């Protein structure tokens, strides 16, 4: 049966053509790592547009444009990922007191895709 | 020093130990039972335990057969079979329903004393992968690890992500993967930007292998991104681009194979990834 995850809108079949179950897990969200003026590293949500700009001498420089702009005094360190809020993970972590399987994270649930 | 009496003394009138070719029978005291544990990944599988038992004070060999329908999430499913006092002559496991590959159904037969939470496993008799034609039997077969030998070859269609969302596939619990090949199609929207998709392996939190593409994807371009165990970087031709992928990495449960696309636009769309993996059950 085909399902759509309510949290990430991904679509998948719960059993593959080879007869093995598929356990959907929502993809993580991308975030940027910033160095704050106080020296601490913070995780922030900024879209990053990356361009290679020729400086006219044949040398190319990576130029990043952030949306929204970075706070004053903050510098870009790198990128990271965070778990998606209300993520779904269908891997079976154990059973309840009645022996029924319990998945790791139900998230927002799923809907059947006709 | 005072000798400690045995927990349960053997029957003094027990028959002589039966002679077996290639081994010796196992004495079961009546408090002992056979425990079958199966770890399974394939739907519609039934595992059958069979064997022969010679009760004490009897010359008639009894045959036993029991079926176990395991779960399909690679978790342990168990069956307990008390046999009474006597001699276990042989025991074996085979798949009686279903057609798993090697790597999909793993069985263990052990001798257990007691039941429930107080049970004590005393000896392992059978341990290894099962198929509908390949039996694991005591006393013939050696004990095998679930990570020994070849795994099951699987072609997996992953989750088709929504527009503007990256691919992320997670190795399922109690599985171990070797990713042999992967491909997915990137359909770029009309927004002008140079997209650069990277293929990343991580351990569930921290990346340990990153592979870039050789040339950016431009607006309105459709590119099939492919990856296999190859070290050459291929220039994009005919809408195909390549990632280098180390084919010898073994990925444990919760490790992830995912994309990170520089300049990913909201209207860009990855297709569902298609992966070819070799899979073992991690017991």
Sole residue written with tokens 């059978």: B126
The model's confidence at residue B12, banded by pLDDT at 50, 70 and 90, is: very low
What Rg, from alpha-carbon coordinates, does chain A have?
21
Residue B237's pLDDT is 56
Out of A12, A23, A50, closest to residue B262 by CB: A50
d(CA A28, CA B254): 13
**B223 min Cα distance to partner chain A (Å):** 20
Beta bridge partners of B80: B35
CB within 8 Å: B168 and A15: no
d(CA B35, CA A8): 42
Is residue B52 within a helix (H) or strand (E), and if so which, with residue range? strand B46-55
**B173 min Cα distance to partner chain A (Å):** 6
The CA-atom distances, in angstroms, between A75 and each of A32, A41, A71, B264 are 10, 10, 9, 22
Q: How many CB pairs under 8 A join A and B?
A: 94
How does pLDDT run across B34-54, given as a tens digit for each residue? 999 999 999 999 999 999 999
A93 touching B, CB under 8 A?
Answer: yes
CB within 8 Å: B73 and A18: no
ipTM > 0.95?
A: no
Share of chain B above pLDDT 70, in %: 85
At residue B139's C-alpha, the angle toward residues B45 and B114, to 5°, is 70
CB within 8 Å: B263 and A50: yes
d(CA B159, CA A7): 13
Nearest residue of A to residue B195, measured between CA atoms: A50
Residue B57's pLDDT is 84
Check: CB of residue A17 under 8 Å from CB of residue A83. no
pLDDT > 60? residue B139: yes
Is residue A48 within a helix (H) or strand (E), and if so which, with residue range? strand A47-54
Q: Among residues B254, B103, B256, B157, which one has the least CA distance to residue A93?
A: B254
A5 Cβ partners below 8 Å, 6+ apart?
A: A11, A12, A24, A26, A88, A107, A108, A110, B159
Check: CB of residue B73 under 8 Å from CB of residue A101. yes
CB within 8 Å: B159 and A79: no
pLDDT > 60? residue B125: yes
**A38 min Cα distance to partner chain B (Å):** 25
A9 touching B, CB under 8 A?
Answer: yes
Residue B18's pLDDT is 60
Hey, which residues 192-211 in chain B have their CB within 8 Å of chain A? Answer: 193-194, 196
d(CA B166, CA B156): 17
A1 touching B, CB under 8 A?
Answer: no
B127 Cβ partners below 8 Å, 6+ apart?
A: B107, B108, B109, B136, B143, B144, B145
pLDDT > 50? residue B114: yes
Contacts of B75 in chain A (CB under 8 A): 92, 101
A10 touching B, CB under 8 A?
Answer: yes
Q: What is the pLDDT along chain A (114 residues), one digit of tens a residue?
A: 999 999 999 999 999 999 999 999 999 999 999 999 999 999 999 988 888 888 788 888 888 999 899 999 999 999 889 999 999 999 998 888 888 889 999 999 999 999
3-state helix, strand, coil in chain A (%, to 5): 0, 55, 45
Q: Which of B88-92, B187-191, B205-209, B212-216 has the lowest mean pLDDT?
A: B212-216
CB within 8 Å: A23 and B173: yes
d(CA B246, CA B219): 30
d(CA B161, CA A25): 11
How does pLDDT run across B97-108, given as a tens digit for each residue? 999 999 999 999
pLDDT > 80? residue B175: yes
CB within 8 Å: A12 and B168: no
């Amino acid at each position: 049966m085909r399902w759509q995850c309510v949290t990430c809108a991904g679509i998948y079949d719960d059993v593959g053509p080879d007869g093995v179950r598929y356990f959907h897990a929502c993809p993580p969200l991308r975030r940027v790592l910033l160095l704050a003026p106080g020296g601490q590293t913070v995780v922030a949500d900024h879209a990053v547009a990356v361009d290679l700009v020729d400086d006219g001498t044949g040398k190319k420089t990576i130029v990043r444009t952030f949306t929204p702009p970075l706070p004053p005094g903050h510098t870009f360190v790198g990128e990271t990922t965070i778990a998606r809020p209300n993520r779904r993970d269908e891997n079976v972590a154990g059973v309840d007191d009645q022996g029924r399987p319990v998945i790791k994270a139900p998230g927002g649930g799923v809907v059947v895709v006709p | 020093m005072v000798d400690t009496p045995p927990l349960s003394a053997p029957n003094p009138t027990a028959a002589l130990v039966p002679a077996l070719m290639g081994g010796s029978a196992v004495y079961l005291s009546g408090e002992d039972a056979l425990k079958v544990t199966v770890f399974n990944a394939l739907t519609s599988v039934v595992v059958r335990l069979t064997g022969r038992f010679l009760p004490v004070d009897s010359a008639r060999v009894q045959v036993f057969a029991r079926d176990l329908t395991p779960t399909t999430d690679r978790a342990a499913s168990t069956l307990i079979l008390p046999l009474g006092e006597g001699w276990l002559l042989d025991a074996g496991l085979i798949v009686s329903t279903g057609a798993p590959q090697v790597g999909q159904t793993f069985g263990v037969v052990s001798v257990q004393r007691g039941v429930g939470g107080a049970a004590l496993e005393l000896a392992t008799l059978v341990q290894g992968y099962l198929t509908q034609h390949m039996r694991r039997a005591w006393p013939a077969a050696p004990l095998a690890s679930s990570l020994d030998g070849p795994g099951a070859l699987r072609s997996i269609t992953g989750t088709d992500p929504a527009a503007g969302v990256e691919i992320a596939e997670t190795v399922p619990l109690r599985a171990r993967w070797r990713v042999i090949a992967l491909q997915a199609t990137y359909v770029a929207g009309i927004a002008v930007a140079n997209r650069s998709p990277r293929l990343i392996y991580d351990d569930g939190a921290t990346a340990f292998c990153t592979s870039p593409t050789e040339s950016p994807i431009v607006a309105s371009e459709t590119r099939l991104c492919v990856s296999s165990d190859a070290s050459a970087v291929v220039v994009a031709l005919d809408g195909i681009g390549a990632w280098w992928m180390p084919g010898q990495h073994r990925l444990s449960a919760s490790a992830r194979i995912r994309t990170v696309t520089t300049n990913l636009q909201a209207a860009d769309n990855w297709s569902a990834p298609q992966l070819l993996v070799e899979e073992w059950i991690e017991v």
